[in-house]
Structure 1
Amino acid sequence: MKRTAATALTALVLAAALSACSSDNSTDAAPKKTTRPAPSAPSKATADAEADSGIPPKPSVAMKLAYFRALTGIDPDIVHGKEDKAVDRGLNQCQTIHNFPKDKGKQTKMAEMRFTSPHHPEGFGKVKAAQIIVAVHTNLCPKF
Structure 2
Amino acid sequence: MHTRTTAALIVVGLLATLAACAEDDTAAKASAPPTLTEEQHAGARAAAGIPAEPSITARDKYLEALNGIDRRIVDGKDDKAVSRGLNQCSSIKSFGGNREKLVELALGRFTIDTRLPEIATPEIGGKILDAVHKNLCPDF
1:93: which partner in 2?
88
* Separation (CA, whole Å) in 2 of partners of 1:97 and 1:78: 19
Identity within the alignment, %: 44
Match of 2:65 in 1: 70
1:131 to 122, 127, 131: 127
Distance in 1, Cα, partners of 2:73 & 2:39: 31
Aligned residue number for residue 23 of structure 1: none
| TM-score, reference length from structure 2 | 0.64
Q: Which residue of 2 aligns with 1:14?
A: none
- Deviation of 1:58 after TM superposition, in Å, equals 1.0
| Pair member with larger Rg | 1
Cα distance in 1 for partners of 2:50, 2:118 equals 26
C-alpha displacement of 1:41 = 4.5
How far apart are the structure 1 equivalents of 2:56 and 2:37?
Answer: 21
Q: Which residue of the other structure, out of 116, 131, 141, is the alignment partner of 2:137?
A: 141
Instruction: Tell me by how many angstroms 1:50 deviates.
Output: 3.2
CA separation of 1:47 and 1:122: change in aligned 2, threshold 3 A: farther
Structure 2 SS opposite 1:77:
helix
User: Partners of 1:116 and 1:122 in 2: how far apart?
Assistant: 12
User: What pairs with 1:15-34 in structure 2 (closer than 5 Å)?
Assistant: none
User: What runs of 5+ residues in structure 1 fail to find an aligned partner?
Assistant: 1-38
Alignment length (residue pairs): 104
User: TM (normalized to structure 1)?
Assistant: 0.63
Q: Which amino acid aligns with 1:142?
A: P
Does the CA-based 8 Å contact 1:116-1:122 persist in structure 2? no
- The structure that is helix-richer by fraction is 2
The range that moved more, 133-142 or 109-118, is 109-118
Q: Is the 8 A contact 1:77 1:119 kept in 2?
A: no
Deviation at 1:51, TM superposition (A): 2.7
Deviations 1:15-60 (A, max 9, x none): xxxxxxxxxxxxxxxxxxxxxxxx96526xx646633431111112
| Cα contact 1:115–1:124 (8 A) shared by 2 | no
